[in-house]
Amino acid sequence: MSRVSKAMHVETIRCRRGDKVYTYHLLRQTYREGGKVKHRTLANLSHLPEATVELVRRSLRGEPVGSLSDQLQLHRPRQHGAVAAVVGTMRRLGIDQILSSRSAAWVRVVMAVLAMRILRPASKLGGTLWWTTTTLPELLRLPHAGRDVNDVYQAMDVLLSRQATIEAKLARRHLRPNAVVLYDLTSVYLEGKTCPLARFGHNRDKKRGKKQFCVGLLTNDEGCPVAVEVFPGNVGDPQTLPAQIARIRSRFGIEYVIFVGDRGMVVKARLADLQAVGFGWVTALRAPEIQRLRDQGYFQPGLFDRQGVAEIADPERPGERLVVCYNPLVAEERRQKRQALLAATEQELARLAARVQRRRRKVMTADEIGLAVGQVLGRWKVGKHFRLDIRDGYFAFQRDEASIAREAELDGFYVLRTNVPAERMGPSQVQSTYRSLRQIEQNFRTMKSLLDLRPVYHRLEDRVRAHAFVCMLALYVRWHMERALRPLLEEDPQQSFEGLMQQLETLQRQTVVLAGHTFEKLSEPEPLHLRIFQLLGVPLA
C-alpha cells in the first residue's frame, strides 16, 4: 500500500554526454510505497527560463517570492528591429568585405554610420548619441560603444583613403563590359565659406547666397550606385565628364561601355572624348536643333498622333543615329504649363500697363518701362511669345499666337542621338536607355532629402569628400533594401521605406531581471516584421 504526499519540489538533473552537459528541471512529488520513499515526475520544467524555474522552486519551499510584478524588472530598452534589418542587409551584401578584406574597428564604425544615415540621419555627434539607444553597438561590436565622435572622423579618413579600391570592387560587381553607365551631376550647398571646395555656381538647391560643391554620381543601368566624385561648386556639367571616362577605362578596367548623359552633360567636346576611347553614348538634342530638323522636313510632328518612336537621318551628323520620340502625356503637361506661364505673365504685364497709364505727372520713360518689362519676362521665361509696344508714357502688349503655335507643334517631342549601332540597340532601346536617367535623378533626391547629404557643415575638403562617399554607400545599401521590399511597397501604395523601418522600431530588446536572474529578451515580432526580414533575406536575431 502506498501513501502519497502532497509535498512537491523541483529537482535539477545534470548529465554529461560527450563534451556537453545537459540540464533538466523536473517537478516531482514524493510518496511512500512499501516503506520506501519514491518520487513521481509530474512535469518537465526544462523549457522554462531559469528565473521562472527558480520562482517555482522557492514557492514550493514556502519562501516568500512576492508578486510577479515585484520580481520582474525591465532595463535598457533598445531599438533592435530596424538596425538588425540594416546590419543584416549590409552583411548579406558583404559591405564589410567591400570596405576592407581585414576585420578592423574602423569598418564597424563606418557600418554604424551607414545605418545611422539610413535610419536616423544626423550629424556625426548626433549619430553616436543615437546608436547607443539601439543594439548597434552590440551587433557591430563598436569600440567604446561608439560614443566617441573622434572614432567616426578617424573611420571616415580611412574610408576616404580606400575609396578607389572600394569603388573598383563595386564596379566589378555591378558594371559589365558593353553595359550602360549612367552619370549625372548635382550641387550641394554648404554652411560656411571656408571649405576649399566652396564656390558660387549654378545652384540646383535654390539656396541664394550659399556657396556649394558639386557631386557626380555614376550608376549602372538599373540605378545602382557605383562611384561618386566631388568637384568645386563652380564646375560645369561637361567639365566633370573626362574624369568619369578615365575612371571607367583605367580604374575599373572596362574597355567599352555605353555612356548615358543629359543634353547639358554630353556636349560636342565631350562626345569627342568619348569617341576617342571608343565608348558608346546616348544623349539628347537641344530645342533649337529639334526645331531645325522639323523646319528642314526631317520629321513631321503631325504624323505622331500617339506615342511613338521613329529613327531619322541628318546629313549634318554623320556617324550618328537620331531617334525621334513622342509622348502625349508630356505634350499635355507642357501645354498646360505654357498656358499657366502665359497667363501669369499677362497678369503682371497688365499691372505694369496700368501703372504706366496712371503716371501722368511724371511719365515713365521707355527705358524705365523696358526695365520693368524685362523683370517680368525674366521671371516667367515666355517673353518670346509676346509682342511689345514700348514708348515714353505708353506700354501695350499682346500674345504672338504664331510663335505659340509654332512651339506647341513640338510639345511632347524629344530627339535622342547615339553612336551605338542599330544591331546592338534598336530605337525603342535607345529611348528606354535614355529614360533610365530618371533613376539617377531619384538617387539624388534620396541622397539629399532622406540621407541628409545636405546641408554640409564640414570645413575640411577631405571631410566633405568622405561625407559624400558615406552618403553614396548608404544609398547603395538602401537601394538594395528597397528592391528587396518592393513587393510590400507595391501592395500598399501609401507605404514607404521609411514607414516600414518605423514599424520595425517597435521591435525592441530589453534586459530582464527576474528573481535575481538577468537575461536579454526580444519583444514578440508581428507578422509584418517577419515578412520584412523574410524579403530582406536576413535573420531576425
Long-range pairs for 45-52: beta carbons < 8 A, 24 or more residues apart: 45/10, 49/514, 49/517, 49/519, 50/517, 50/519, 51/512, 51/514, 51/515, 51/516, 51/517, 51/519, 52/514, 52/515
Give this prediction's pTM. Answer: 0.79
CA–CA distance, 324 with 317 (Å, rounded to integer): 15
CA–CA distance, 128 with 151 (Å, rounded to integer): 10
The conformational region for residue 94 under phi > 0 = left, psi -120 to 50 = alpha, else beta, is left
Mean pLDDT value across residues 57-64: 74
Closest CA to 482 of 224, 227, 176: 224
The set of cell numbers assigned to 168 is 573598383
pLDDT-based confidence at residue 377 (cuts at 50, 70, 90): very high
User: pLDDT tens across 108-130, in order?
Assistant: 999 999 999 999 988 888 888 88
Helix (H) or strand (E) holding 247: none
Strand segments, DSSP code E, in 360-428 are: 386-391, 394-399, 413-418
CA–CA distance, 371 with 382 (Å, rounded to integer): 16
- Triad 316, 318, 321: Cα angle to 5°: 100
State the average pLDDT for the chain.
87
The set of cell numbers assigned to 127 is 549619430
Mean pLDDT value across residues 404-420: 92
Rg (CA), the chain: 34
pLDDT exceeds 80 at position 517? no
Mean pLDDT value across residues 340-359: 94
pLDDT at 364: 92
Q: Exposed e or buried b for every residue in 305-325, given b needs 16+ CB within 10 A?
A: eeeebeeeebeeeeeebbbbb
pLDDT-based confidence at residue 148 (cuts at 50, 70, 90): confident
User: pLDDT tens across 189-216, in order?
Assistant: 888 778 888 888 877 777 777 888 899 9
Strand partners, 150: none
pLDDT exceeds 60 at position 392? yes
The set of cell numbers assigned to 289 is 536643333
CA–CA distance, 146 with 129 (Å, rounded to integer): 8
Q: Is the peptide bond before 455 cis (omega within 30 degrees of 0)?
A: yes
- Among 51-65, 81-95, 181-195, the minimum mean pLDDT is found in 51-65
Amino acid 178 reads N
The set of cell numbers assigned to 504 is 520595425
pLDDT at 512: 74
pLDDT at 193: 76
Task: Report percent pLDDT > 90 for the chain.
Answer: 42
pLDDT at 521: 78
Residue 518: Cβ within 10 Å count = 11
Task: Decide which of 131 and 342 is more confident.
Answer: 342
Mean pLDDT value across residues 308-329: 88
Strand partners, 220: 181
The set of cell numbers assigned to 154 is 578617424
pLDDT exceeds 90 at position 164? yes
Enumerate helices (H) and strands (E) in the chain, giving the number of each.
21, 16
Residue whose C-alpha cell reads 566652396 in the numeric block = 198
Mean pLDDT value across residues 177-182: 85
Task: Quote the DSSP letter at residue 324.
Answer: E
Mean pLDDT value across residues 432-457: 88
pLDDT exceeds 80 at position 449? yes
pLDDT at 1: 45
Q: Which residues contact 36 (CB under 8 A, 6 or more apart)?
A: none
Residue whose C-alpha cell reads 522600431 in the numeric block = 505
Q: Report the DSSP pairing between strands 225-232 and 386-391.
A: unpaired
Q: Report the DSSP pairing between strands 72-79 and 508-514.
A: antiparallel
pLDDT at 66: 58
pLDDT at 538: 93
**Could you tell me if 465 and 497 are in contact, meaning their C-beta atoms sit under 8 angstroms apart?**
no
pLDDT exceeds 80 at position 541? no
Task: Report percent pLDDT > 70 for the chain.
Answer: 94
pLDDT at 2: 47
pLDDT at 203: 77
